[in-house]
A and B are shown apart, each in its own frame.
Chain A
Amino acid sequence: MLPAKNEKQEKAFSDLFEKYKNLVYKTAFLMFGSKEDADEALQEVFIQVYRFLPGYDPRRGAMTTWLYRITINYCLAHRRKQTISLEPLEDVDILAMQEPVETRVQANIDRRSIRHAIMDLSEKQRVVIILRYYWDLPYKEIAQILSIPLGTVKSRIDLALKTLGTTFQLFSAEPAKDASSIWERVL
């Protein structure tokens, strides 16, 4: 039923999917906090990709920028009812295993709280945190993806970090210094 798409186009599209499915999926997952929503996003975004691929002009920007943009636009347009169904924490933190139980439990609480803090950020703030601290994108690219000025990127990141900083402190039973030291070792 589809208009005949030649084999070459089909192969290009499937290569694109393989190469970038994680980019789309993980971004959506970090935005929504739910695997179901990320599954849906993956489909919807690649349907858009399929549709607009011929119109994609590499001179206008990198493929990844384009993909991030479609994904983020999708996520922002599909605000999910916000009780983020956080996946149960897997107890695979090797380092934590070396700690006594109490600290491990505390660490789990902290981890869950930290996740919550991130998910509690406004979408605009969460987006920049994800693009900067998960994907390590430079501010300039973030500005391109979101179609906002560079200055706005800077201030949003700054605000988001400060918001998180406050929340992290509130959640950790220990002084902030110790809670984050667990993470420093993970890194």
Chain B
Amino acid sequence: MKCRQISKKLSAYLDQELTTGVAKQVEEHLITCEFCRLDLAELRRTRQTAAAALYEMAASAEPSAQAWSSLQSRLKVGQISHKKKEQSWLSRLAPGWKVDINVGLLGEFVMKQKIAVLLSGVLIFGILGFFLTYKNVTPVSAKQILEKAYEVQKAANLATGISHIKVERYSNYEAKEGKDAGITSILENYTDYQTGNYRLVEYFSPEMKVRHVDGYDGKFTYSSDYLDRTRKDETLVVYRSPQSREKLSVLDDMGPIFSAEETFEAMRMDPKITLESMMSSSDGKKAYVLVAVHTMDKQYFNINGKVSVLEGGTSRERMVFDASTYELLETETTVKKDGNEIITNSLVFLTREALPKDARVIWDMTDLKGIKLEDDLDWTKGDLIPEKITEKELASQTSTAYLLENVPQGFELTITANPNQKKNPYYLYVARYQNAAGDYFNIQSTENEPISQYKDEAQEVFDLKDGMKAFIYNKANDSLTGDVYQMARVKVSENATILINSTLSLEKVKSLLDGLVKVK
């Protein structure tokens, strides 16, 4: 070996990290080469000097005596829970995948999934901007936006109390220009984490006319149509559909409760998000402004049958955080159009508080004026909450459901699906296998896109039994939870595809996939 090669190996040689064969080669060279011997001696000195310096530095470094008690108080204040995030598919993101958008609010159910790595914790803040990167997208529902706001709020509300959030939202998705370009609305939400009751009402502002309703009072799910500007004069119909609390899966395993600070820090770590500035208000409050730049594909909007186009480009999403509490104060998304920066979306938090658990909230919507409450006893009209179903019920609902032949040892299976799926292009369900440690293996149905759309991005492709083909994607890191996810797409048949995501190792995922079978 030449000196140059030897030189690179000397430190490993001193650390005894070379294989016997290579170490021998180094030794043989050293016998004959004085230069390398000198290098070795110097390296040895450097190692010793460095080690000694590190020892000396660290010798004086001890944790303070109060460290434990500080930690204790922080743990209580932050109310950190170590439950894993529930993979509720309705509006949340299977980690690593872009969202399934439920656009029931426009009377159409459009589901799109693309492969991308998104911080699920960024969703709340990204949710207003990222959906713009879809093709054929339609606006996200207010419920989805606020569900994410709850996560930030959960830390303060856990175990007791009812969260109360009120935001003012401006939407102008088509980036129209002019005074009447967008719609301003107020969204007010109450959520009781103990019982699972929730109430979301959106009003046109400033008239305060009810635009959309969503809720659950323990016995009924309330859901409504969604009035856009052209239908402002109509009376909103709110459907009341019976759903029993036992069947609902929403409350189980509510997921990690991230404090506002943690969410902020996770976003700070996202390379696509930058800290733009720090602002001070006249009353001495300080706020951070983070910016995320998204690239946008050309999009088509279909609103009540009328199609409009927004050209591609970049959108900029600003997020304003309270510098001391890390709470999100405002967001604003802008796009450039004809040289002008136009606001397509903005959100301002007006209220964010925890009410006592016995606070009186009218969950059954009877206080709302200007709406028509209609009973939807056969579940054909309302938007329902996903329910837990059995394997048998799953089989009876669809002929293209896939599960693992056997439940892996130590795991429990929960299958959830929305009872009302008549509008859906395909039957949507999520089968979640979870163990006590919180590891999970999820199977969910997904749009049956042609393989050509995604096969090239797969890290690995392999065949399963019965002609099924699995496409494994890059592990995704949820920088908020620190979890590493495996993802796969499995083409189970000509007309069905499923998504897999799991915190188990790749080997384990592959071996579980061997047991994938069609549910009969």
- A: residues with CB less than 8 A from B are 1-3, 14, 17, 21-22, 25-26, 29-30, 33, 35, 38-39, 42-43, 46-48, 50-55, 57, 60, 70, 77, 87, 90, 111, 114-115, 118, 129-130, 132-134, 138-139, 154-155, 157-158, 161-162, 164-165, 168, 176-177, 179-180, 183-184, 186-187
Chain A residues, CB < 8 A from B56: 111, 186
B463 at interface by CB-CB < 8 Å: no
Give B508 Cβ to nearest chain A Cβ, in Å.
10
Residues of A within 8 A of B80 (CB): 2, 47, 50-51
Residues on A with beta carbons closer than 8 Å to the beta carbon of B63 = 21-22, 25, 38-39, 42
| Complex contact B48–A14 (CB within 8 A) | no
| CB–CB A139/B74 < 8 A | no
B17:A133 contact, CB within 8 angstroms? no
Given contacts A51-B256, A157-B15, contact A187 B439 (CB under 8 A): no
A25 vs B75: C-alpha distance in the bound complex, in angstroms? 18
Contact A154 B17 (CB under 8 A): yes
A25 to B63, CA, bound (A): 6
Cβ-neighbour of B58 out of A3, A29, A53, A154 (below 8 A): A29
In the assembled complex, which residues on chain A have CB atoms less than 8 Å from the CB atom of B159?
A: 1-3
Interface string of B49-88 (1 = CB under 8 A from A): 1111111111011111001101100111011111010000
Contacts known (A1-B76, A138-B17, A168-B46); A115 close to B71, Cβ less than 8 A: no
| B54 adjacent to A139 (CB under 8 Å) | no
Q: Is B483 an interface residue (CB 8 A)?
A: yes
Q: How far is the CA of A183 from the CA of B160 in the complex (A)?
A: 59
Question: How far is it, in angstroms, between the C-alpha of A164 and the C-alpha of B43 when the chains are bound?
Answer: 9
| Category for how many chain B residues contact A | 35 or more
Partner of B45, one of A39, A118, A180: A180
Contact, CB under 8 Å: A54 / B79:
no
Known: A111-B56, A134-B58, A187-B48. A161 touches B43 (CB 8 A): yes
The answer on a CB contact under 8 Å between B48 and A132 is: no
Contact with A along B437-453 (1 / 0, CB 8 A): 11100000000000000
| Shortest Cβ gap from A2 to chain B (Å) | 6
Contact yes or no, B61 A25, CB < 8 A: yes
B47 at the interface (CB under 8 A from A): yes
Q: In the complex, how many angstroms separate the beta carbon of B506 from the nearest chain A beta carbon?
A: 12
A168–B53 Cα gap in the complex (Å)?
11
B306 at the interface (CB under 8 A from A): no
The answer to whether the Cβ of B8 comes within 8 Å of any Cβ in the partner chain is yes
Whether A57 pairs with B67 at a CB distance below 8 angstroms is no
How close is A154's CB to chain B, nearest CB, in angstroms? 5
- Asked if A184 contacts B48 (CB within 8 A), the reply is yes
CB pair A118 B79 closer than 8 Å: no
Nearest 10 interchain pairs by C-beta: A29-B61, A165-B46, A180-B45, A134-B54, A183-B52, A133-B51, A25-B63, A158-B11, A26-B58, A114-B53
Check B68–A17 contact: CB distance below 8 A. Answer: yes
**Chain A CB within 8 A of B42 CB:** yes
Tell whether, in the assembled complex, residue B68 and residue A55 are in contact, meaning their CB atoms are under 8 Å apart.
Answer: no
Assess whether B482 is interfacial by the CB under 8 Å rule.
yes
Q: How far is the CB of A51 from chain B (nearest CB, A)?
A: 5
Could you tell me if B57 and A29 are in contact, using CB atoms closer than 8 angstroms?
A: yes
| Given A1-B79, A3-B81, A133-B51, A115-B57 contact (CB < 8 Å) | yes
Tell yes or no: B183 within 8 A of A by CB: no
8 A-B pairs with C-beta separation under 8 A: A1-B159, A25-B62, A30-B54, A42-B63, A55-B438, A55-B439, A87-B57, A111-B56
- Inside 8 A of B438's CB, which chain A residues have their CB? 54-55
Name the A residues within 8 Å of B82 (CB-CB). 50-55
Known contacts A30-B61, A157-B11; 4 additional CB pairs below 8 A are A3-B81, A30-B54, A55-B438, A183-B52
Question: Chain A nearest CB: distance from B151 CB in Å?
Answer: 14
A1 → B minimal CB distance (Å): 5
What distance in Å separates the Cβ of A93 from its nearest Cβ neighbour in chain B?
8
In the complex the two chains form, what is the Cα distance from A127 to B43 in whole Å?
18
CB of B377 closer than 8 Å to a CB of A? no
Q: Are A43 and B71 in contact (CB under 8 A)?
A: yes
Q: In the complex, what distance in Å separates the CA atom of A25 from the CA atom of B65?
A: 13
CB distance from A138 to the nearest CB of B (A): 7
Closest CB in chain A relative to B393 CB, distance in Å: 31
Residues from chain B with Cβ under 8 Å of A114 in the complex: 49-50, 53
Q: Which residue of B lies closest to A140 (CB)?
A: B17
For residue B303, which residues in chain A have a CB less than 8 angstroms away from its CB? Answer: none
List the B residue with the shortest CB-CB distance to A77: B269
Task: List the B side residues contacting A157 at CB < 8 Å.
Answer: 11-12, 15
Kindly state the separation between the CA atoms of A126 and B19 in the bound complex, as whole angstroms.
Answer: 25
